[in-house]
Amino acid sequence: QLFDTKAGRSDIRNALDGIYDGVYETQGPTKKGVFSLGGDGSNINVVLTASMGISRRISKSFNIGLEHQIMHSGNDFLDGINSRSAFDQTNSSDIMHYTNIRLAYNLGSSDKRTEPLYWLNPLDATFNDIAELKRRPILDLTDEDGDGVIDMIDQELGSPAGYSVDTRGVTLDSDRDGLADGKDKEIFSPPGFEVDSDGVAIVPTYMSETDVNRIVDAKTAAMSEAIDENCGKWFLPMLHFSSDKYDIKPEYYGHLHHVANVMQMCPNTCVSVVGHTDIRSGNDYNRVLSYNRAKSAVDYLVTNYGIDRARFILMYGGEETPLSISGSAGNLMNRRVEFRVCITGDSEMVRPEGPDAGSGGSKSGSTYSGSKNSGY
């Protein structure tokens, strides 16, 4: 009676635990007419398995499922209890079943991972194609603005009549100056310049090389005329010499440089170079000495500054035109070479007759016996 009561179920489980201890204490029953392997007394039976479950897709890589499975063996040899007992109330055929929870994770890279095919509906591709067809607009060949591009793909529905458009139906602006070609009077304006209201590039007018040369020549000519007008107004210095000498002292190189600058700025100016002496020595001697002094000055300018010799008139005066009365200081002032712009009556003088007069000497100009600036 113990097995017929609900309270005895616990005792039944305990009894089963004692039987299932891994030791074959009794010979298991066998069923005649059932195939066995090697005559070892075992039975091989067909088992019918059925299951039912539900799964939930959490993400592309993870899903969860609940499943219940039933296995029907068609015999009473699974639970260790024979149904042919007077106290047994189990079925004559044992049925084993269990419930499980499944957690599934799809391995592999997330970019290349393919989900299990049981999530794929075989009709998905067909449904997607049908949905795409439904989304397609109905073909409409209307072209309201008459630009040759139908309104369905026209990105500028109100293009002005007669204006050229591109494949999108947008009015052309070939030079991208902000003015449509239909209104642009210069469709291909040069890039980088502003345009006026008609689309014409505002390009500054640049002078050519010929224009520049013409302007320079005109200004140079005007400057030359102005210089020529004032060339006769230049102050030209004079040189002083040591007694009985015609060499040029270094302290007068600056004076000659000034004369050369004036002549270079006044290319049409003629300069008279006149040599003089003091009253010492005879007149014939002094005339030759004054000539030598003037020639020394002319040769220096021609050699060092490249001035044409023809622009000089060499003249001499000997002792005949003194600047000061005789005396130490007066004699120095009289030993001179004067420069002046040629005047009417000036003419080239050849070397006068007379003895060789004076010497070039070797005085460097670095030693002075009096005033450094005056040369004595």
- pLDDT per residue as tens, the chain (376 positions): 455 666 677 777 777 777 666 665 555 555 555 556 656 556 677 889 999 999 998 887 888 999 999 998 777 766 655 555 555 555 567 788 889 999 988 887 777 767 777 777 888 889 989 999 888 888 778 888 888 888 888 888 888 888 888 888 888 888 878 888 888 888 888 888 888 888 888 888 878 888 888 888 888 777 666 655 666 667 788 899 988 888 999 999 999 999 999 888 888 889 999 999 888 888 888 899 999 999 999 999 999 999 999 999 999 988 888 887 766 667 888 889 999 888 888 889 999 888 888 787 434 444 444 444 444 4
Question: Taking a C-beta distance cutoff of 8 angstroms, is the pair 245, 278 a contact?
Answer: no
Set out the domains of the chain in order of their start, with CATH numbers: 2-105 (no CATH), 235-341 (3.30.1330.60)
Rg (CA), the chain: 66
How far apart CA 359 and CA 369 sit, in angstroms, is 19
Question: Taking a C-beta distance cutoff of 8 angstroms, is the pair 131, 123 a contact?
Answer: no
Other C-beta atoms lying within 10 Å of the C-beta of residue 181: 16
pTM given for the model: 0.39
